[in-house]
Amino acid sequence: MTQIFGEADAFGKEFIDSGLKSFASLSKGIQAIALDATEYTKKSYEEGSAAFQKLAAAKSPEAAFEVQSSYARSAYEGFVAEATRMVDLYAELARDAYKPFEEAAPRAK
C-alpha cells in the first residue's frame, strides 16, 4: 500500500516539475513573440513615415502613385513575412510548452 502512495508521490512531483518547465517555456516563448511584434511595429511605423514623406515630396501624380504602390507592395510582403514568423513562433511555443508533459506521459502508465 505504501508503494502505491510512493509511486503517486513520485508522479505528483514529476507532474509539478513538468508544469514548471512548461511554464518557463511559455514565458520564454511569449517574450520572444512580444519582442518580435515590437520590432515589426517599429519597423512598420518607420517605413510608413518614410513613405509618407516621399509621397508628400512627389512632384507629379505619377510619382505619387509609384511611391504609394511601392509602399503597399513592401508593406504587404512585410506583413506576410511577419505573419509567417508569428505562426512559427506560436508553433514553437506550443511544442516547447507541451514537451515536458510529453516526456512524462510514457512513465505515467
pLDDT, tens only, 59-71: 999 999 999 999 9
- Here the contacts of 90-98 (C-beta below 8 Å, separation 24 or greater) are 90/29, 90/33, 92/29, 93/25, 93/26, 93/29, 93/30, 93/32, 93/33, 96/25, 96/26, 96/28, 96/29, 97/22, 97/25, 97/26, 97/29, 98/22
pLDDT at residue number 5: 56
Q: What percent of the chain has pLDDT over 90?
A: 56
For residues 23-41, give the mean pLDDT.
90
**pLDDT bucket at 96, cuts 50 / 70 / 90:** confident
pTM over the 0.85 mark: no
- In the predicted structure, residue 81 carries a pLDDT above the cut 60: yes
More confident residue, 4 or 50: 50
Coil, helix or strand at residue 58: coil
pLDDT top residue among 97 and 44:
44
